């Protein structure tokens, strides 16, 4: 990117940093991060997700949409994407930025209530960025188990994380965990944790 477009993107990034930080000051637990993920991080998240599997894609905790943008940059049809964001202001901005994406303001922990589909919609990939520090390990595993019920065959679940160990411990016979390299230009450095059905072939 160069010239005017590059300057516009840099200006938008600065504004997003300020807005994200302000929201974090008001609600650090719900935000879980002081800054939006870096473009390199978002591209790593998308490259780790099974977007090649046919079907809809679910993004949980999109914030101001850096992963959404990375999905579109990777050539994903916006009509495939549903993004669930809890913060009303962020959801409004996402709708303006990505009019062709199905942005839903709601709780990504409760898909049945938020999607109101009785569990019917299955996804090719779930990209997860909601903070879960407050949840005990058993609840995390149960939550991810419910997400796996929503994944199509061959689909995976990718998670934004600053931890060196999988934030959700693998469940024997259900799902395994692996990780991307650390992305050092993210604030703070982060990796993508990748959860796949036990026995599934790795993506790369
Ligand atoms: C760590 S930020 C990640 C934002 C973006 N994906 C990124 O990588 O920069 C977490 C986001 O999850 C949202 N969030 C928190 N709890 C949520 C929930 N229960 N359902 C949906 N979104 C939630 C926050 O409002 C915030 O936008």
Q: Is position 25 within any domain?
A: no
Tens-place pLDDT, residues 107-145? 999 999 999 999 899 999 999 999 998 999 999 999 999
Q: How far apart are CA 145 and CA 139, in angstroms?
A: 10
**CA of residue 62 to ligand 1 center, whole Å:** 6
Q: Is position 130 within any domain?
A: yes
What per-residue confidence (pLDDT) applies to 163?
85
**CA of residue 200 to ligand 1 center, whole Å:** 28
pLDDT higher than 70, residue 16? yes
pTM for the whole thing? 0.94
194: which residues sit within 8 A by CB, 6+ positions away?
48, 156, 157, 158, 159, 177, 178, 179, 180, 203
Q: Is the CB of 143 under 6 A from ligand 1?
A: no
Q: Is the CB of 19 under 6 A from ligand 1?
A: no
Q: Is position 4 within any domain?
A: no
CATH number at residue 192: 3.40.50.150
What per-residue confidence (pLDDT) applies to 1?
55
Q: Is position 10 within any domain?
A: no
Which of these, 134, 47, 140, 129, lies nearest to 85 by C-alpha position? 129
DSSP the chain: --HHHHHHHHHHHHHHHHHHHHHHHH-HHHH--SSPPPHHHHHHHHHHS-TTSSS-EEEE--TTTHHHHHHHHTT--GGGEEEEES-HHHHHHHHHH-TTSEEEES-TT-HHHHH-STT---EEEEEE----TTS-HHHHHHHHHHHHHTEEEEEEEEEEE--SS-SS--BTTTEEEEEPPPBTTSSS-BEEEEEEETTPPP--
Q: Is position 15 within any domain?
A: no
Q: Is position 172 within any domain?
A: yes
State how many domains the chain has.
1
**What average pLDDT does this structure show over 138-154?**
97
Are 107 and 86 contacting, i.e. CB atoms less than 8 angstroms apart? yes
pLDDT, mean over the chain: 93
Atom of ligand 1 nearest to the CA of 107: 20
**What average pLDDT does this structure show over 164-188?**
94
Q: Which of 46, 66, 86 to mutate to test the pocket of ligand 1 (most atoms within 8 A of CB)?
A: 86
What per-residue confidence (pLDDT) applies to 88?
96
Report residue 202's pLDDT band, with 50, 70 and 90 as the boundaries.
low
Structural domain for 109, as ranges: 36-197
Q: Is position 123 within any domain?
A: yes
pLDDT exceeding 70 applies to what percent of the chain?
97
Q: Is position 178 within any domain?
A: yes
Tens-place pLDDT, residues 37-53? 999 999 999 999 999 99
What per-residue confidence (pLDDT) applies to 19?
87
Q: Which two tokens stand for residue 147?
A: 């997400």
Q: How far apart are CA 16 and CA 98, in angstroms?
A: 15
């Amino acid at each position: 990117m160069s010239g005017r477009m590059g300057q516009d993107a840099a200006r938008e990034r600065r504004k997003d940093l300020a807005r994200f930080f302000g929201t974090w000051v008001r609600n650090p637990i719900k935000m879980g991060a002081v800054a939006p993920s870096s473009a390199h991080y978002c591209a790593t998240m998308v490259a780790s997700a099974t977007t090649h599997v046919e079907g809809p894609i679910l993004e949980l905790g999109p914030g101001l949409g850096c992963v959404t943008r990375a999905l579109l940059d990777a050539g994903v049809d916006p009509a495939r994407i549903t993004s669930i964001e809890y913060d009303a202001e962020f959801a409004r901005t996402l709708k303006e930025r990505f009019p062709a994406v199905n942005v839903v303001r709601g709780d990504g922990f409760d898909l049945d209530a938020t999607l109101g589909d009785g569990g019917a919609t299955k996804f090719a990939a779930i990209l997860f960025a909601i903070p879960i520090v407050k949840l005990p390990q058993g609840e995390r595993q149960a939550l991810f188990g419910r997400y796996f019920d929503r994944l199509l065959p061959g689909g995976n679940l990718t998670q934004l994380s600053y931890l060196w160990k999988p934030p959700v411990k693998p469940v024997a016979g259900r799902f395994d965990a692996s990780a991307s390299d650390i992305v050092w230009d993210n604030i703070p450095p982060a990796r993508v944790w990748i959860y796949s059905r036990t026995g599934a072939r790795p993506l790369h």
